[in-house]
């Protein structure tokens, strides 16, 4: 018994791949828009921290191996890899999401506990897109 794929099934599969790639890209963008605030007048977005991190990497490897930097960096790289794959790898997507989500959930709770609406608003889009990504990647194989 052979399985024949109708154009409708093939079209839905292509749309699913495209959807996963778009959601992974949105996860990266939403992560970059995370807002950090500490002390009296210190604040920055995550995308403003990443460039100096990479430029100082050869000189400051100790800063790179800090778990608060290394775990999100690994997640960022994994999700970036999925953007260039023909079909985004489910394991890479979920592992990258887990790495980035640990940092963003931590940041969200800091915002809630300190009642800092800027931090809460900057992390909410990531959390919403993360839920969408989980739903896309945890569907049954028969769907």
Is 134 a domain residue?
yes
Q: Tell whether 35 is covered by a domain.
A: no
> What is the b/e burial string over 58-88, where b = at least 16 CB atoms within 10 angstroms of the residue's CB?
eeeeeeeeeeeeeebbebbebbeebeeeeeb
> What's the structural domain count of the chain?
1
Q: Does some domain include residue 110?
A: yes
Q: Which run of H or E residues covers position 22? A: helix 7-32
Residue 4 resides in a domain: no
14 is a domain residue: no
Residue 30's nearest CA partner among 44, 52, 16, 46 is 46
pLDDT at 137: 87
Query: Is 13 part of any domain?
Result: no
- What distance in Å separates the CA atoms of residue 28 and residue 80, rounded to the nearest whole number? 8
pLDDT (0 to 100) of residue 15? 74
55 occurs within a structural domain? yes
Model pTM score:
0.81
Question: How many angstroms separate the CA atoms of 132 and 59, rounded?
Answer: 39
pLDDT of residue 1: 52
Predicted pLDDT of residue 13: 65
Residue 3 lies in a domain: no
- Range of 102's domain? 48-138
Q: Which residues of the chain register pLDDT less than 50?
A: 142-143
Question: Among candidates 83, 138, 121, 76, which has minimal Cα distance to 103?
Answer: 76
pLDDT at 104: 95
């Amino acid at each position: 018994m052979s399985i024949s794929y109708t154009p409708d099934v093939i079209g839905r599969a292509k749309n699913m791949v495209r959807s996963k790639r778009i959601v992974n890209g949105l996860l990266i963008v939403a992560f970059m828009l995370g807002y950090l605030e500490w002390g009296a007048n210190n604040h920055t977005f995550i995308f403003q921290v990443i460039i100096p991190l990479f430029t100082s990497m050869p000189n400051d490897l100790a800063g790179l191996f800090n778990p608060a930097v290394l775990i999100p960096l690994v997640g960022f790289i994994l999700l970036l890899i999925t953007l260039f794959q023909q079909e985004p790898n489910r394991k890479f997507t979920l592992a990258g999401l887990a790495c980035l989500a640990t940092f963003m959930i931590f940041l969200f709770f800091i915002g809630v506990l300190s009642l800092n609406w800027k931090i809460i608003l900057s992390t909410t889009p990531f959390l919403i897109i993360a839920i969408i990504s989980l739903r896309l990647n945890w569907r049954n194989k028969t769907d």
